[in-house]
Structure 1
Amino acid sequence: MSGFELAGLILGAVPLLISALEHYGDGLSTLKRWRRYEHELRSLVRNLDTERVKLQNVCEKLLVGIVPESQIETMIKDPRGNLWREEKIQKKIQSRLWEGYRLFEDTVADIKKAVEEMEERIKNQSRKKASTLKRTIFTLSRNQYADLILIIREGVANLENLTDRNIELEPARKVRSQGKLFKVLRTMSKGLYRALKSSIDCPCSHDISLKLEKRSNTAPMDDSEEVMSNLTFKIALSRLSAGVTERLEEKEWKEIMIKPKLSPTDNKHLLESASLPIQSKGKSKKSVSFASSSNTSTITMTRTQSISQNVDIQTSIQTLPIGVASIGLYNLDAITNLCEKLKRAQKQAQVSTYGMVIDRSPEGTRKFTLHPIPTSNTEDTRCWSVIALKQILEQKDTSIYLTYQDRLHLAVIISSSILQLHGSPWLSGTISSQDIFFIQKKYFPFYDQPFVMKSLPTKSVATQNVCQDAPFPRNPVLVSLGVLLVELIQGKPINLLRTPQEESLTHTKLLQDYMTVKRLLQDVRMASSNYAAAVTRCVDGDFHNGGLTLDNEELCEGVYSGIVALLERDLEYT
């Protein structure tokens, strides 16, 4: 049972404890000789209720920004409800408390024990067999509950301090964690491209698309197993498929889920390359529960020590505990011809995995396992096609329309993906709306699933590197991102936003785009001040000083907090 769920049970148990004390006091009030001792009972009730309210405040603070305000009210009114057991909420709270989460759990467990002990003492004195004398002695003992009240009071005070300090540090921690995560992702994305390229050994022409995703870390980066196990990549691979006649050939798309297959040595090497410490194995977390909450589900925190070799691989991936699935407890064949492998798999009834692709580079050997993504039996993947973001922004097809929320969503994903993929073959230079693609399924693009696309054998799909006739005193990658952000918020490509005067300039295209963006900043600011601030930092400001690239961890963290985080905030409140 998680510490947060346990806190909810305590909030539900304390009012029952207060009610029992008040009932006990009513029984004593019939003894006129002992009425003067009712003050102690009232003081005890007041102390308990005070600590309950303080613990409730702690829980509310932890929930602010994690769940809607109306949901917070619902949870407070029903502290034993199902919302307190939602895994998504618990993970966000664990992320917010960071390394203090274990202390939070231990402290709540101590408070729980004190509440249970107090409940037991009251029951012992309230039983019908208890004599009046025994009840009187119980009442007269001023220290009967002093030790328990002290444990509860100190525990709640520690929770208040722990919560306040961690919430204050949360923004800075998130920036540091994201910067390190992006560095790991850049390393892994390079290895993934090389591994896929080496596995495609055929004369066919393939387009390979990598899905862009907004990624965030929900645990301290030194929890290596959990961080690595949560990473997955989604690609779509096209190949020519023969139709009814030999002359009918069309592209057929295959979506594939990819997971890193990391051995402990690979894991250590990858995290050390990002300057991340490895967390030592500690003792398992305690599991506690109220005896009265028989219907409460518990969350097991222990890790599986061994897995049967006969277990189906796909089932294993779904059921393995955190951090195990990606370490490589099962052996897979290395794929030497992915195209042929997919053809053979298509003829089989059910395939749980295709095998693995391997990147052997001077940096080390990295392995990735490939798994099918099921599609509907009625869906013909030969009907899928791709459309570039620039085509959508040009609005030549009036049936395609990006809402404001769609555009904000894309802005967040693309800006985050630049930090994840910069310097890799997936995104080797600047970015434009010609480089972002969507796979159209059943004649409708999935706007929440943008891809970058490469062709194998290698050929240019979109011009990524901007040719410059003269030096431009700005980071071209960030400027190109600023241009793309303006295109999204304005709903038009940059060439349709230029004035005739800007079009007639004899400067480089990048400088033309820069001047157009500067002119449009006021219009962007009217739509969103956060969005305008993000664009401004893309084209001007401290990020362009010193000639640093996004490989620099400090610049990467600054771009995340100064650009991506602002866009995330806008999307969150849209």
Structure 2
Amino acid sequence: MEVKEGSVVGKRALLKIAANAVNISQHEDAVNKIADANRKLEMLLAGNLRNETLRKRTFGGKLSGLLQTVTRSIYNALRLSLPCGCAQSHSVHLGLPVLPLIGKGQDVERTVRKLDFHVTFANEPQRFRDQSHTTWAWEEVLLRMLELPRENKRKQPVHVRPTPKAKRLNLSKRRVGFAEDATPRLQDLTLQAANHGEGELIRPEGDLAEFPQLSNLCESFNRKPQSAIYGYIADGSANPSPKFGVYYPTSSDNSDPCLTVSLSSLLDQSPRPPPLSWRHRIAAVVAASLLHLHGTPWIPSKLASKDVYFIRRHGKVEYDQVFVTTKPENSSAVYDGGGDDSASYDGNPSLHALGVLLMEVMLWKSIYDFWDDVKSKYSHTPAHVFLNIRSDNGFRRTSSVLERIGFSGGQAYRDAVEHCIKCDLRCDFESLDNEEFRDAVYHYVVAPLQDAARIATVPMISGKGRFACTA
């Protein structure tokens, strides 16, 4: 632009151009600073995600090791406390632990110490004509650790640091708590399954030392205790012997028409499935328990729908607590984990069986009812045979059911099931005793299922509704 000398208009135009140039330069500097800050935030976020993954793996290893030790000790304590002649008629069901989200810096041992383990007993003496009649047919109790069992390092592949001697219980009014922390309610859904009466657990009023060690639970259940606690049971196979207080919920009485029903029975009966949110939660709890209870008597090497149980109370099935079952052997031998039959599978048998179970939970039908031609031809054939992805028919069946699962449960659920069936975790040793393989199972199977369960159950951020729970 041509500017005449001394022209006021020309000077103003030059000043305006110069001001615009300065503004553009300042704007570019601000944009560059913002971009640089974003890059640094992205690097910080990536580092935090790597650290969080490492923390979860470390925490998961410690947690699984402790839960394996504790639940194995519970099994031995129950086995030694059922020396009666009618022990074969007693089915014992353990509620799978539902653990909360653990924040950074929280003590794993304290978390496990505060858990209440929900245990139910079903007595069916009528099946054994040579056994004397007993008055109780159903009982449910809550077991609380009085002392944390020491880890048997020969059995446990995951290292858990030793714990100090447990402190004595500090009792007050109707609650029992450990001296370091008296807030034991970590697994709310687990306790709700036992609290259908007044909604709280009855607690003893006196010193716990006044209550006896229960040498025969069958006889103890025949007579209702005067206090809120039957006594305690001990794992005599360990030294020192871990002790577990045996409490009963307010709703636990002989008038409750309760029984346990297996998942396989529910699938065969073809009732209306529970809401999608509950199916997600059942799948997440069962998958996590495969890691937490692996190598214990509570989880078989190939977990199936016949091994998973729920309580049916007053004719209604309660899906908020998942149980596994066992029959404690009446012998002095300490439980030892069974062998591994991985040689007969293309992948890990435990993981493949979990994949089949996850299929059944989401579609809410038996694996043999997925296709019209399977039940008649393969009703007595193991699932891993007709779902063998190396065969043409097996590959087609697996692909079709994965597509249906993805439509019903979402992509994350589908991917978790596919990893289980194909066992494509790229590990050198496909054994749950191997730390690398356990980490891979957690990363590709357990964690996605837990995230999907949280998404399906949490309230929506916007509005007062919830995520859709379709059948």
TM (norm. structure 2) is: 0.66
CA contact (8 A) 2:367 2:383 kept: no
Q: Distance in 1 between matches of 2:448 and 2:430?
A: 22
Equivalent position amino acid for 2:99 in 1: R
**Once the 2 structures are TM-superposed, how far is the Cα of residue 530 of structure 1 from its aligned partner?**
0.2
Residue 300 of structure 2 is aligned to residue 448 of structure 1: no
Which one scores higher on RCO, CA 8 angstroms, separation ≥ 6? 2
User: Partner of 1:425 in structure 2?
Assistant: 297
Q: Deviation digits for residues 283-317 of structure 1, max 9, x if unmatched?
A: xxxxxxxxxxxxxxxxxxxxxx9877xx4585332
- For 2:220, the equivalent position in structure 1 comes to 341
Do the aligned partners of 1:259 and 1:368 also contact (CA within 8 Å) in 2? yes
**Counterpart of 2:113?**
229
* Superposition deviation, residue 561 in structure 1: 1.8
Secondary structure, counterpart of 1:411 in structure 2: helix
3-state SS, counterpart of residue 236 of structure 1: strand
User: Corresponding residue for 1:369?
Assistant: 245
Provide the residue aligned with 2:59 in structure 1. Answer: 177
Deviation at 1:446, TM superposition (A): 0.2
Counterpart in the other structure of 1:488: 361
Q: Distance in 2 between matches of 1:338 and 1:426?
A: 19
Contact 1:229 1:324 in 2 (8 A): no
What is residue 257 of structure 1 aligned with on the other side?
A: 142
How has the CA–CA distance of structure 1 residues 237 and 279 changed in structure 2, closer, same or farther, with 3 Å as cutoff?
closer
CA apart distance, 1:343: 2.5
SS in 2 for 1:258: strand
Moved more, 495-504 or 180-189: 495-504
Q: 357, 370, 380: which is aligned to 2:255?
A: 380
Instruction: Report Cα offsets for 1:70-116 as digits up to 9, x if no partner.
Output: xxxxxxxxxxxxxxxxxxxxxxxxxxxxxxxxxxxxxxxxxxxxxxx
Show the counterpart of 1:416: 288
Amino acid across the alignment from 1:353: I
Partner letter of residue 360 of structure 1? G
**Gaps spanning 5+ residues in structure 1: where?**
1-160, 281-304, 459-464
In 2, are the aligned partners of 1:411 and 1:488 still within 8 Å (CA)? yes
Separation (CA, whole Å) in 2 of partners of 1:558 and 1:195: 33
Post-superposition Cα deviations, 1:491-522, rounded to whole Å, max 9, x if no partner, equal 21101113527965797542214434344222
1:469 and 1:475 mapped to 2: Cα distance?
A: 6
Residue type of the partner of 1:520? V
Question: Do structure 1's residue 358 and structure 2's residue 234 form an aligned pair?
Answer: yes
Q: 1:423-572 maps to which residues of 2 (within 5 A)?
A: 423-456=295-328, 471-500=344-373, 504=377, 509-514=383-388, 515=394, 516-527=397-408, 528-543=410-425, 545-572=427-454
Alignment of 1:100-115 (within 5 A): none
1:215 pairs with 99, 117, 120, which one? Answer: 99
Q: By how many angstroms is 1:367 displaced? A: 2.2
Q: Which residue of 1 aligns with 2:76?
A: 194
Q: Alpha carbon RMSD of aligned pairs, Å? A: 4.1
List aligned pairs for 1:140-159, cutoff 5 A.
Answer: none
Q: Deviations over 1:174-207 (max 9, x none)?
A: 2321232012111221111111011012122211
Q: How many percent identity over aligned positions?
A: 24
Write the distance in 2 (CA, Å) between the matches of 1:555 and 1:314.
45
* In 1: Cα distance, 2:444 partner to 2:70 partner: 25
Distance 1:550 1:189 in 2: 17
CA distance 1:257–1:402, shift in 2 (3 Å): same
- Cα deviation for residue 417 of structure 1 reads 1.4
Output one character per residue of 1:200-250: Cα deviation in whole Å (capped at 9) or x when no partner: 1212221111012332562568835523422331100123699xxxx9988
Q: Tell me, in whole angstroms, the C-alpha distance in 1 between the residues paired with 2:156 and 2:234.
A: 20
- SS where residue 360 of structure 1 aligns? coil
SS of the residue corresponding to residue 482 of structure 1 reads helix
**Aligned-pair distance for 1:391?**
2.1
Equivalent position amino acid for 1:536 in 2: E
Give the superposition deviation at 1:409.
1.4
Q: Contact 1:483/1:517 (CA < 8 Å) preserved in 2?
A: no
Match of 1:118 in 2: none
Match of 2:266 among 372, 392, 396: 392
Distance change in 2, residues 1:343/1:390 (3 Å):
same
Aligned to 1:405: 277
1:259 aligned partner, one-letter code:
R
User: CA 1:432–1:517 in 2, change beyond 3 Å: closer, same or farther?
Assistant: farther
CA distance in 1, matches of 2:133, 2:162: 55
Q: 1:571–1:549: structure 2 CA closer, same or farther, 3 Å change rule?
A: same
Query: Could you say if the C-alpha distance between residues 541 and 363 of structure 1 is closer, same or farther in structure 2, counting changes exceeding 3 Å?
Result: farther
Q: What is the distance in 1 between the residues matched to 2:267 and 2:69?
A: 32
C-alpha distance in structure 2 between counterparts of 1:238 and 1:510, whole Å: 32
Kept after mapping to 1: 8 A contact 2:136/2:221? no
1:365 partner SS: coil
What TM-score, normalized by structure 1, do the two folds share?
A: 0.55
AA in 2 matched with 1:407: R
* 180 and 196 in structure 1: CA distance in 2 versus 1, 3 angstrom threshold: same
1:230–1:537 Cα change, 3 Å: same
**Structure 2 gap ranges (5+):** 1-42, 127-131, 185-206, 331-337, 389-393, 457-471
Change in Cα spacing, 1:453 to 1:306, as seen in structure 2 (3 Å) is: closer
Give 1:162 shift: 10
Which whole-Å CA distance do the structure 2 matches of 1:260 and 1:435 have between them?
25
Partners of 1:268 and 1:222 in 2: how far apart?
24
1:104 matched residue in structure 2: none
Is contact 2:342–2:348 with CA below 8 Å preserved after alignment? no
> Which amino acid is 2:262 matched to?
A
Which whole-Å deviations, capped at 9, do the CAs of 1:510-569 have from their partners, x for residues lacking one?
221443434422222233110111011101244475443222233222212211111112
Asked if 2 retains the 8 angstrom alpha-carbon contact of 1:186 and 1:423, the reply is yes
Equivalent residues of 1:199, 1:336 under 8 A apart: yes
Q: Which has the higher helix share?
A: 1
Give 1:255 shift.
1.3
Contact 1:431 1:480 in 2 (8 A): yes
